[in-house]
Amino acid sequence: MKIYNTQSRKKEEFVPIKEGEVSIYCCGPTVYNYFHIGNARPFIVFDTLRRYLEYKGMKVTFVQNFTDIDDKMIRRANEEGITVKELADRFIKEYYHDADALGVERATVNPKATEHIPEIIALIEKLIDKGLAYTCDNGDVYYNTQKFVGYGKLSGQNLEDLESGARVDVDPNKRHPMDFAVWKAQKPGEPAWESPWGMGRPGWHIECSCMSMKYLGETFDIHCGGKDLVFPHHENEIAQSEGATGKPFVHYWMHNGFINVDNEKMSKSAGNFFTVRDISQKYDLEAVRMFMLSAHYRSPINFADVLIEQAKASLERLYTAKDNYEFLLKNAKAEKAGEADAAVIEAAKEAETAFEAAMDDDLNTADALGAIFEFVRKENSLVGENTSKEALQYVLEKLEKLTHVLGLLRRKEEKEDDEVNALLELRAKARAEKNWAESDRLRDQIQALGYVIKDTKQGQQLTRAM
């Protein structure tokens, strides 16, 4: 498999540190609010990376943090009149609710910053000992960027360039404008922890260095997140971790592209900001996942209602195809695959090959989805009442295996199907008896379940409503 490494700016063959195992750290949410679709993209994309590596037989350790203490957390908790801990607990619960609905598998560990204060303090002490961090009179501790050779290597910048671009009103405590806080002294009313430098709290960047190394080791395979995190967050993580250990921190850096709305980057200030919770009022979040995976993860994508609508419609097509294969399987006459089934099986094999080729090429989920649609298109014209159970099982297994990697086709419809079928039967009876009032009432009931009925000479035709 090839992965585009942000640091080398090229696609590289992926070779894990330990054969058959992969360690991944993905930057998680600051839990001060529902997460927005911009946040959702890395969750979905890198969950798909994990699923694909597992599909390839690897054991994946996937760590994703919760930032449960920072300026935004404190401000929001104050606004709500609750503690920072209460705020974090609430939005961690909400995170799981939305992430589950998006089909994002639970991480191996979801460490929280506030539960790692001793480890964070130990890491900062190590940096101070090595001259890579310095304390200030007010109790802040800063990272000393000038002492870390190679600062800027991830984002392809150097300290001089960065200095000339820095804002003028630089903190007078800093020795260099690019220096950043690893420990922040307590301000009135803020939550704080004891430390060698007085009461305070960790800076944002240090928690990711600390927790990734704790759970994955000083050098691990893949660190991922949104493109906006390349600088300064991930640059600073490298400075902290490699500064402290003297070892390479991460082998492969992966970053997803932005989500735009009407050609502009989605942001609160532009007022074009959508939370996943907002969207879930209108769309099944599986359609949002389909939308996200319809583009290569490094491409910018434009968000528009119509695109979620399209993703949803195409998802229903996959469900319809799957339903049809299951129906045929239940009613198939032949057990064993015969000569006539060769093309059916061949199309499934071809789909698998095309799917893997796309995913191996830097996780090209757009082309992988293309392979699945091509698969279904071919099978729809090949399978029929004469297809054997064995061949249909083969097709269904492949379809389920490939869509599972993408986290799609997760809906279980048996219950609903039974209900709709029972109503359809009642309605057919009512119509046979010319009981139009009852027939209308049943139509309404069926439509309320999300279906459209068409009455034809051949009976009731049912399609899913949009």
Q: What is the contact surface with a second copy in residues (CB under 8 A)?
A: 260, 262-263, 290, 294-296, 298-302, 304-307, 309-314, 316-317, 320-321, 323-324, 327, 331, 364, 366-367, 369-370, 373-374, 376-377, 380-381, 384-386, 421, 424-425, 428, 436, 439-440, 443-444, 447-448, 452, 454-463, 465-466
Taking 3-state DSSP, the helix, strand and coil percentages for the chain, each rounded to the nearest 5, stand at: 50, 15, 35
Smallest distance, a second copy to C-beta of residue 326, A:
10
Q: Which is nearer to a second copy, 166 or 448 (CB)?
A: 448
Evaluate the CA torsion angle 300, 304, 306, 311 in order and state its sign.
positive
Grouping H, G, I as helix, E, B as strand and the rest as coil, residue 137 is: coil
d(CA 357, CA 349): 12
Residue 52 identity: Y
Buried b (16+ CB within 10 A) or exposed e, 421-452: eebbebbeebbeeeeeeebeebbeebeeeebe
* Phi, then psi, of 326 in degrees rounded to 5: -65, -40
Smallest distance, a second copy to C-beta of residue 450, A:
9
Q: Which is nearer to a second copy, 9 or 167 (CB)?
A: 9
Q: Is 103 left (phi over 0), alpha (psi -120 to 50) or beta?
A: left
d(CA 450, CA 417): 11
Smallest distance, a second copy to C-beta of residue 132, A:
37
Smallest distance, a second copy to C-beta of residue 381, A:
6
Q: Which is nearer to a second copy, 181 or 301 (CB)?
A: 301
d(CA 392, CA 327): 10
| β-strand partners of 4 | 11
Q: Which is nearer to a second copy, 136 or 428 (CB)?
A: 428
Other CB atoms within a 10 A radius of the CB of residue 18 amount to 11
Note whether 363 and 224 are within 8 A (CB): no
Q: Which is nearer to a second copy, 89 or 352 (CB)?
A: 352
Evaluate the CA torsion angle 157, 158, 164, 169 in order and state its sign.
positive
Q: Which is nearer to a second copy, 165 or 384 (CB)?
A: 384
Q: Which is nearer to a second copy, 213 or 369 (CB)?
A: 369
Smallest distance, a second copy to C-beta of residue 53, A:
22
Q: Which is nearer to a second copy, 15 or 462 (CB)?
A: 462
Smallest distance, a second copy to C-beta of residue 35, A:
23
Smallest distance, a second copy to C-beta of residue 459, A:
3
Which segments of 221-335 does DSSP mark as H helices, in order?
A: 235-245, 276-280, 285-293, 305-331
- Using only C-alpha atoms, the chain has a radius of gyration, in whole angstroms, of 27
Q: Which is nearer to a second copy, 83 or 421 (CB)?
A: 421
Smallest distance, a second copy to C-beta of residue 368, A:
8
Smallest distance, a second copy to C-beta of residue 71, A:
34
Smallest distance, a second copy to C-beta of residue 150, A:
28
Q: What number of helices (H) and strands (E) belong to the chain?
A: 15, 15
Q: Which is nearer to a second copy, 186 or 302 (CB)?
A: 302
Smallest distance, a second copy to C-beta of residue 101, A:
20
- Give the closest residue to 55 by CA, choosing from 294, 356, 322, 410: 356
Grouping H, G, I as helix, E, B as strand and the rest as coil, residue 462 is: strand
What is the DSSP code string of 367-388? HHHHHHHHHHHHHHHH--TTS-
What is the DSSP code string of 41-83? HHHHHHHHHHHHHHHTT-EEEEEE-BB--SHHHHHHHHHHTS-
Q: Which is nearer to a second copy, 240 or 460 (CB)?
A: 460
